[in-house]
Amino acid sequence: MATEGAAVRQDLLILGIGNGLRADDGAGPYVAARLAAAGLNARVHAGDGTGIIDAMAEARHLVLIDATRSGAAPGTHTRLDAIAAPIPAEFFHYSTHRFGLAEAVETARALDLLPPALEVHGIEGADFSPGETLSAPVAEAAEALIVTLLAAFAR
């Protein structure tokens, strides 16, 4: 993963959404922190929907990463093209955020504020209790997503 000296893509912003103090809800922040350390334009976001909408004005390509609780097996990674289709309401139904990712994306769509490219990555969580450690299947999925995103976006 050699990204030393890599040019930071100014058109790209990666937001890792979630709470790093609630076990698997910290998947997004974990991935974002690792990507930022590798030189990508990535940051942690607590998950407030208005902040997500504000971030849409900052980049032509926005990548959102959050934990999900959709009923899939823990560690399941799902990639959604949020430009092509609405985010399923049940996909992010477990959330510590009152106005979270799905609501933010669909509100931005209604207001014609979506960036040209918007991809959403969900990692199915298993444990949302207080704690800073990702469960094993979520940690494995997070590591795989880091490799995928570095391959896609590191220059």
Residue-wise pLDDT for 18-54, tens only, equals: 999 999 999 999 999 999 999 999 999 986 888 999 9
* pLDDT score of 4: 47
CA distance 1 to 66: 23
Closest by CA position to 49, among listed 3, 92, 5:
92
Pick the residue with more confidence: 109 or 3?
Answer: 109
Written as six digits, the tokens of 80 are: 């959604």
Average pLDDT over residues 111-124: 96
Q: Given a cut of 60, is residue 95 above it in pLDDT? A: no
Residue 106 pLDDT class (50, 70, 90 cuts)? very high
Q: Which domains does the chain have, with CATH numbers?
A: 12-126 (3.40.50.1450)
Query: Average pLDDT in the 80-92 region?
Result: 86
pLDDT for 90: 74
Give Cα 128 to chain centroid, integer Å. 16
Give the phi and the psi of residue 55 in degrees, each rounded to 5: -65, -25
